[in-house]
Amino acid sequence: MNTLINTLRDTLGAAHVLTHEDPTTDLSAWEQDWRKRSHGRALAVVRPGNTAEVAAVVRACAAAGTSIVPQGGNTGLVVGSVPDDSGTQVVLSLTRLNAVRVIDTANLTMTVEAGCILQSLQETAEKAGFLFPLSLAAEGSCTLGGNLATNAGGTQVVRYGNTRDLCLGLEVVTAQGEVWHGLSGLRKDNTGYDLRNLFIGSEGTLGVITAATMKLYPLPAAQLTAWAAVPSLEAAVALLGLAHQHLGAGLTGFEVMGQFALSLVDRHFKQLRVPLWDTAPYCVLLENSDSESEAHARAQVERLLEVALEQGVVTDAVVAESLGQAHQLWHIRESIPLAQSEEGLNIKHDISIPVSSVPAFCAETDALLQREIPGVRLVNFGHLGDGNLHYNVQAPATGVYAGDPQAFLLEQEDRVNTLVFDAVARHHGSISAEHGVGSLKAAKLPHYKDAVALGLMRVIKQALDPQKTLNPGRVLP
């Protein structure tokens, strides 16, 4: 191992190869996952500064038989980017690869490196007069490479799609340390297998994404945000249908939030002043992006809400009167996971269900969990516009688990996961919508993924990474 460390130091410089040999070096930021559910021990954390250095690191590790854990902003939720506790894995941090290489205004693309912070990319695009629409709660610290590796979703999937849909080309270091130069800005290229989409969503198990060419869009003339109370999930789905009819392609966000989820925000972040949360079982947050004017966007939303009120789909609503108010409403939505953490440890689910089946799934699964674990609290919220729910389970506030959420997780997590995932399967959904599989769901995947699909995935892994150098134990158990 000392030979490998010396090789890495010769390649990157000693300052960019961090080990536990130095007692003043704290590696916890790279060794612990964001939810603090897993804490590993790395042989070293390496920080290459360009693609050639990434390739050199991969070649050195492959020659030494040492596995690599690629890591971006380390904001993942499925324990997919931290080392195990063996002390033998190298964490490959990509945060120094943070350059915007080029913005092609005529082609509506920008080519950027994997370590770029998502929020910085949004701001860079806006300064150039364009919209980069990928948006999620961790955008201030997550990196594009991680977004691509997990095919992240976020709040605007209903209009722009997942990260996969925003990507035109990739630069990737293979498990052998070769570089695939695939940074095409082409929207049409029918010359064989789609390697780009093979690497996107592979969670660092097939190759290391070092750069990407991403789509840009014209900045909307106006964005209008509305918050509506609805009497049921069926009503929320009906409102989504009306929004598609009245707003068309202008509908860029459609979030649903359960009453208990909003009550946690109200309890732990009083300063946010959550509207209408105690008047209905669910609230909806929707966004209309308009290419004409704010007046036109407002007229569209007001007409939508008028029709929805007439039909009983909405019981009350507020429309943001300024950009500041709109940001406040979105901040409430994005604060639900933080409020949940303040309430205590919980069992998280990132599932997707056909939109039409969401009400039936929730009714069935809510009742099932209440019957099996009386008093369990359901924190249900998410991207209803694309069928992605964060269907999370909080320990009962009274009884044996009161004040002891750790015991709830230890004793009930596997059982709860099985109950929820079985219900997802009955409703033809997926156990991972946007967070990935990582190591947290790897053991569950064979129970819910088509056997032929799993077989093909194993063949691909074996072909591209026969030594299992890249992120072993993730995605495929």
The domain limits of the chain are: 2-93, 100-218, 222-337, 344-426
| Structural element, H or E, at residue 378 | strand 377-383
pLDDT band, residue 20 (cuts 50/70/90):
very high
Q: Which residues contact 230 (CB under 8 A, 6 or more apart)?
A: 236, 239, 280, 281, 282, 283, 284, 313, 314, 315
Dump pLDDT digits (tens) for 420-475.
999 999 999 999 999 999 999 999 999 999 999 999 999 999 999 999 999 999 99
For residue 96 the two structure tokens come to: 């120094």
Answer left, alpha or beta for residue 340, where phi above 0 means left and psi between -120 and 50 means alpha: alpha
Of 263, 202, 236, the C-alpha closest to 70 is 202
pTM score: 0.94
Distance CA 472, CA 439 (A): 9
* pLDDT on residue 180: 98
| pLDDT above 90: residue 34 | no
- Amino acid identity for residue 16 in this structure: H
Geometric angle at alpha carbon 9, from 7 and 13, rounded to 5°: 140
pLDDT of 199-218, one tens digit each? 999 999 999 999 999 999 99
Element (H, E) at 410: helix 405-426
CATH top class, domain 344-426: alpha beta
| Residue-level pLDDT at 405 | 85
Residues 100-218, CATH architecture:
2-Layer Sandwich (3.30)
Position 402 pLDDT exceeds 90: no
Rounded CA separation 5/18 (Å): 9
Percentage of the chain beyond pLDDT 70 is: 100
Q: What is the third-level CATH fold of 2-93?
A: 3.30.43
pLDDT, position 2: 82
124-136: average pLDDT? 96
> Mean pLDDT over residues 354-370, rounded?
98
Q: Sort 65 into a burial class: Cβ within 10 Å, 0-12 / 13-18 / 19+.
A: exposed
255 beta partners: 285
Give the residue with greater pLDDT, 171 vs 322: 171
Could you give phi then psi for residue 286, rounded to 5 degrees? -125, 155
% pLDDT > 90, the chain: 93
Dump pLDDT digits (tens) for 92-106: 999 999 999 999 999
Cα separation, 445 vs 312, whole angstroms: 41
What residue has token string 């060419």? 213
Could you tell me if 111 and 102 are in contact, meaning their C-beta atoms sit under 8 angstroms apart? yes
Tokens of 271: 């300063």
The pLDDT tens digits for 177-193 are: 999 999 999 999 999 99
CA distance 228 to 262: 13
Q: What is the CB-side half-sphere exposure of residue 312 using CA atoms within 13 A?
A: 3
Average pLDDT over residues 392-418: 92
Classified by CATH at the fold level, domain 222-337 comes out as: Alpha-Beta Plaits (3.30.70)
Is-same-fold flag (100-218; 344-426)? no
8 A C-beta contact, residue 440 and residue 169: no
Contact 151, 166 (CB under 8 A): no
Q: What type of residue sits at position 430?
A: S
Burial 75-94 (b: 16+ CB within 10 A, else e): bbbbbbbbbbeeeebbbbbb
Pick from 21-30, 224-233, 271-280, 423-432: least confident: 21-30
